[in-house]
Chain A
Amino acid sequence: MGDVIAEVRSFLRDNFMLDDAEIRDEDSFMAGHVLDSTGFIELITFVEERFGVEVADDEMLPENFDSLRNIAGYVERKRGAAAA
């Protein structure tokens, strides 16, 4: 989980020119207005390509992508489902 968080944080920092203080593990990207809809598409594309998961249309939800911790949980569940 820690690796996913670190890699996504690094992506957010590089791609959106964010400071580390703006991307704490639990912070909501939506509530903090850190990402807009274009930003989420970029984020989801990164998650698909970097972690080799296919995000279905109905999985593009805040509970899966609205914070670093949510993303890490989502990637873990997807990997678990693929391994099962």
Chain B
Amino acid sequence: MAAPRDGRLEAAVLRIDPEAESSRIAAWMREAVRDTFRRRGLVIALSGGVDSSVCAMLAVRALGAGRVFGLMMPERDSSPESRIRAEEVARRLGIESTVEDIAPALEALGCYARRDEAIRRLVPEYGDGWRSKIAIAGGREGTFNYFKLVVRSPAGEDRELRMPLAEYLGVVAATNFKQRVRKTLEYYHADRLNYAVVGTPNRLEYDQGFFVKNGDGAADLKPIAHLYKTQVYSLARHLGVPDEICEAAPTTDTYSLQQGQDEFYFALRYDRMDLALWAFNHGLPADGAADALGISLREAEFVYADIAAKRRATRYLHAAPLMVEPVALP
């Protein structure tokens, strides 16, 4: 859609025809599986969130329920509601699915121990009964982006500390085992069934690099990576994704304290972040976006700068392995 003529931003720019878009994506998925990959179906990890639910519904529309396999992969820090919601999606779609508890694999890899060891360098008493998460800071206020560790003691007392780089990288590296173990299982089932794997990022996540390289970033096809999150919700309602999924705030479901996606990574809540990204992509000046985003011109400029900075910083995540020179394939 073109930029509004008066240079002002409004939510209508993200409106889509959900039926036409669902049909277009489903036809594309069918062609990708049948003609490009020559596989027999699709594996999809169901997180209980809106993105994977929509992808599952599109997969069934593309290939039929008999060619879609759903996976629920909870671990120690997953919320029980996520699994209930994911199971409801699988049940509603009538697809075959299974639960793979990945906690023992993560335990064996030292995911929890390595993460807790990094946290204990900042909070020595951190241990059983404590919970934690990471929150982003900066970006919108004009300061550099940095991360805070939030811990809650067994007594319910919260503490927040700025993370030095080594501890931040240590916690993230350990936590990334979760996405990579899940992807390993998705490909196990895909190989077993001769299926391809669906990746479920929306446009915000894809554009801004909100994924783990070779973890949730790995997939054979990404059917909603061109859609803003607002548009994914539009498809969700149209396709009959359960209300409790459409109404839940997006979370990472990765840390033991509940963590909103905006809190972890994005400068604004998803609906306003969508608009900011759309405006940025369409060359709308920051002053044309600020009102619609409900922020000052200065903050809008910071959000724009943050979008560009995240693109640059996450180029590595998108990059395929580099080669000295191209090698032509037969």
Contacts and interface: CB of A to CB of B under 8 A. Distances in A.
Interface of A: 30, 33, 36-38, 40-42, 44-45, 57-58, 60-62, 65
Interface residues of B, number: 15
B165 A37 contact: no
A62 B309 contact: no
Interface centre among B137, B142, B144, B146 (most CB of A within 10 A): B144
Given A30-B309, A37-B138, 11 more contacts: A37-B145, A40-B144, A41-B168, A45-B165, A57-B143, A57-B162, A58-B143, A60-B146, A61-B144, A62-B142, A62-B144
A8 B316 CA distance: 26
Contacts of A62: 142, 144
A41 B146 contact: yes
A57 B168 CA distance: 16
Contacts of A33: 312
A40 B137 CA distance: 13
A38 B142 CA distance: 16
Nearest to A63: B142
B119 to A, nearest CB: 17
A36 B137 contact: no
Contacts of B144: 37, 40-41, 44, 60-62, 65
13 contacts: A30-B309, A36-B309, A37-B138, A37-B309, A37-B313, A40-B144, A41-B146, A41-B168, A57-B162, A58-B141, A60-B144, A61-B142, A62-B144
A61 B146 CA distance: 11
A41 B89 CA distance: 42
A53 to B, nearest CB: 15
B164 A45 contact: yes
Contacts of B309: 30, 36-37
